[in-house]
């Protein structure tokens, strides 16, 4: 028997969709990376390539899309097991969101670039909030006891 989504499921879905959209657009519109300001790396051959922060921004769009997908999937799989499985996925996506800017790809080496001042802290914060929402999905029961 399929379970019907509860109010908390709809709230979690909305939170995940909002977080996913914010993760996806932060690097391009809210706190734009260096590439948006016209800064590129020039190779010896004269070709212009994006800086590290540009590649991080592209990866974060994919991560944000997956967070949105997890939120939408929560409506389709509202059971306790479904919520826990998606919670594990959301915890991982939150961690990867923060690790993408710090360890996996990173940001520009220059501390006063716009990506280091705005984008990096914003994405770390969004990653931590996403991770906390995923932990909530894992450990908090669907309905509070009466």
Using one digit for the tens of pLDDT, what is the confidence trace for 74-89? Answer: 999 988 899 999 999 9
Residue 68 inside a domain? The answer is yes
| Beta bridge pairs of residue 41 | 49
Residue 2 inside a domain? The answer is no
Residue 1 inside a domain? The answer is no
pLDDT tens profile 19-75:
999 999 999 999 999 887 778 877 888 888 888 999 999 999 999 999 999 999 999
CA distance 5 to 13: 10
Q: What total of structural domains would you count in the chain? A: 1
Tokens of 123: 């994405």
What lies within 8 Å, CB to CB, of 28 at 6+ separation is 36, 57, 61
Residue 29 inside a domain? The answer is yes
Residue 42 inside a domain? The answer is yes
Residue 120 inside a domain? The answer is yes
Range of the domain at 26: 7-139
Residue 20 inside a domain? The answer is yes
């Amino acid at each position: 028997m399929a379970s019907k989504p509860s109010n908390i499921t709809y709230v979690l879905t909305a939170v995940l969709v909002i977080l996913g959209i914010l993760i996806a657009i932060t690097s391009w519109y809210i706190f734009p990376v260096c590439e948006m300001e016209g800064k590129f790396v020039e190779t010896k051959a004269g070709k212009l390539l994006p800086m590290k922060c540009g590649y991080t921004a592209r990866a974060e769009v994919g991560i944000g899309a997956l967070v949105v997908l997890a939120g939408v999937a929560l409506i389709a799989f509202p059971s306790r097991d479904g919520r826990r499985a998606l919670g594990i996925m959301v915890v991982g996506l939150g961690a990867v969101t923060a690790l993408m800017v710090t360890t996996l790809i990173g940001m520009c080496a220059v501390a006063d670039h716009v990506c280091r001042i705005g984008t990096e802290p914003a994405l770390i914060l969004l990653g931590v909030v996403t991770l906390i929402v995923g932990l909530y999905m894992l450990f908090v029961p669907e309905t509070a006891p009466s």
